[in-house]
Structures are given as structure tokens and as C-alpha cells.
Amino acid sequence: MEGDASEYGGYRRDESTSERLDRNFSEQLQELRVAQAGVQILFAFLLSLAFQARFTELDGFELVLYLVTLVAAALAVVCFTGPVAAHRLLFRRGVKDFLVRYTSRMAVAGLSFLAAAVLGGVMLVVDVLQPRWLAFTIGGGLLAVGLVVWVLIPMSIRRRTSDPDPVGPAR
């Protein structure tokens, strides 16, 4: 039947709400660990750029692009680590449902900031090495690919399937 989850595997679990919340939170933290490692490496790289000899040669556009990229990477780090801090502060308070929703929101925000940081970082490097039009062209291409892979494909599947998890990230 069209739009049925079985079209995409139809995987179901037989678990209690508590078990589902625990599993969802554990899976979310694993996702954040993967994203966090990458954003921390990018953030460290961006921090080190200001101490390079050629940094003083950046023009006004490149400096603004650098600052926007640096702040986006910092915000991604904050969003990706926020759920860990919240979990620590709320440990054993019986608010796992809140933590699952909060973690989902922070992951989406963190991924948005990470996308901006990656895009800005690539554009900055290309702009330093090549003509500015090429930086915008490559940046636009990366933006298009990122939107397709990170948003359009998952959202097209999401629209065709029902939400089997009433406490999941959509709430």
C-alpha cells in the first residue's frame, strides 16, 4: 500500500514507552557523538586560522565570512553538547520525555549551524585560493547537495510514512 512504512522496511518494535524513550535518547546521543567530533575538528581548525601569517591578508568579505563561520561552528558545538549538560542537570528527575524532545531540537539546530560552518569554511578557503565567483558557485553547489541529502530526501520519506513513535522528535 502506497505511503505505508512497510514500503521502506516496516520495522516495528514491541517496547514500553519507557523503553522507547531510553532507546531514543541513547540513539540520539550516539548521533550527537558522531556530529560533535566533526564540528569540534572544524572549530579547532577555524580557531587556529586567526594565528596564521596569511590571515592578515584577508579582505573585508573574507573576514566577515570567517567570523560567521566561526560563530556557526561554536553554536553547533553548543547545540551538540547541550543535551549532555541537560541530561546531567536533570538526571533521575523523571523527565526523559523532555530530554528526548530537547535533544532532537538541539540536534536539528546543531546540524543547521554545522551546515553553515562547513559551507562557510569551504567558501572561505576557495575565496582565498580562487576568484570569488568560484567560491559562490561551489558554495551554492554544496548548499544544494546538502539540502537534498540532509532535508529533501528524508522529508520525502517522512511525508510518505506514519509516525510510529508518538514521543519522537516531531513533538
Does residue 171 register a pLDDT over 50? no
Alpha helices (H) in 13-92, listed in sequence order: 17-49, 60-90
Structurally, the chain folds into a number of domains equal to 1
pLDDT score for 54: 87
Considering just the CA atoms, what is the radius of gyration of the chain in Å? 20
Residue 89 lies in a domain: yes
Residue 24 lies in a domain: yes
- Cα atoms in the 13 Å half-sphere on the side-chain side of 120: 25
- The pLDDT tens digits of the residues spanning 70-122 come to 999 999 999 998 988 888 888 888 788 888 899 999 999 999 999 999 999 99
Residue 5 lies in a domain: no
Does residue 28 register a pLDDT over 70? yes
